[in-house]
Amino acid sequence: MSRPPPWPALAGPPEWLGTRLATRRGIWGKVPGAASDYRWIARSRHFAAGREDLAQTLRIGSEDQPIRASLWRRLPDRYLAASVYPSRARDSAGRPALIEKQVVEVPGPAAVPACATALLLLPEISTHDDRDWWERRSGEPWHVPDHSLDIPDAECPAPRLDTTALEGAVGAGLDRIRRRIPAAALYAF
């Protein structure tokens, strides 16, 4: 008999264990030298399908500070994992873009618990940055408002949902918390 995952919310129905998440990816930011404002720089096939407002659902406030952060959002029809990082792009007026976002979406409604997808996708998306598109930026028709670079399906994460991967993600997260926050502070919290 296999033992259940260490987090009760992950002890869900066994039919999703052993499957791979089907995901799509997008990159949101400013295109270097373009007059356009923030837009989808790159997208995989069907990314943000049916959600013209997807970028707005991932706003983190005024977005005027070049920060690093991870975001998670559950919408009625999809899960979103995002990584925010400082951007090196400048628009046609020379203004800095400040931030850029890498986004992974899992179409739904998914039978997989949100916490399981978050545990596997947040660490994955945080490894991406503008290197995914920066070298391909020249010679593109950025003046076309809806133009974006293609992200091949093979570059969309497809983690396997198994007990070992989930236990590893929970263990790695607990280790990071223990290294950064003193035990007394955790106890007080």
Q: Report in angstroms the alpha-carbon separations of 71 from 3, 50, 51, 93.
A: 30, 21, 18, 30
Return left, alpha or beta for 56; rule: phi > 0 is left, psi -120 to 50 is alpha, else beta.
alpha
User: How crowded is residue 174: how many other Cβ atoms within 10 Å of its Cβ?
Assistant: 11
177 plus 96 within the same structural domain: no
Q: Please give the tally of structural domains in the chain.
A: 2
- Tell whether 132 and 182 lie within a shared domain: no
Q: Please give the full DSSP string across 120-165, using - where no structure is assigned.
A: HHHHHHTT--GGGTGGG-TT--TTSTT--EEE-GGGS---B--HHH
Tell whether 185 and 153 lie within a shared domain: no
Q: Is residue 150 part of a domain?
A: yes
Each residue of 112-141: pLDDT tens digit?
888 888 888 998 899 999 999 999 988 899
Name the strands in the sheet holding 78-86, side by side, starting at the edge strand that comes first in the sequence: 69-75, 78-86, 99-107, 24-29, 39-44, 149-151
Domain assignment present for 41: yes
* Length in residues, the chain: 189
> Is 106 in the same domain as 65?
yes
Are 95 and 78 in a shared domain? yes
The CA–CA distances, whole Å, from 81 to 16, 24, 27 equal 19, 11, 12
- 16 assigned to some structural domain: no
pLDDT, greater one: 53 or 109: 53
> Is 8 a domain residue?
no
Residue with tokens 């992974």: 104
Residue 97 lies in a domain: yes
* pLDDT digits 0-9 by tens, 51-105: 888 988 888 877 778 889 999 999 988 999 999 999 988 877 888 878 899 999 9
Residue 3 lies in a domain: no
pTM flag (> 0.75): yes
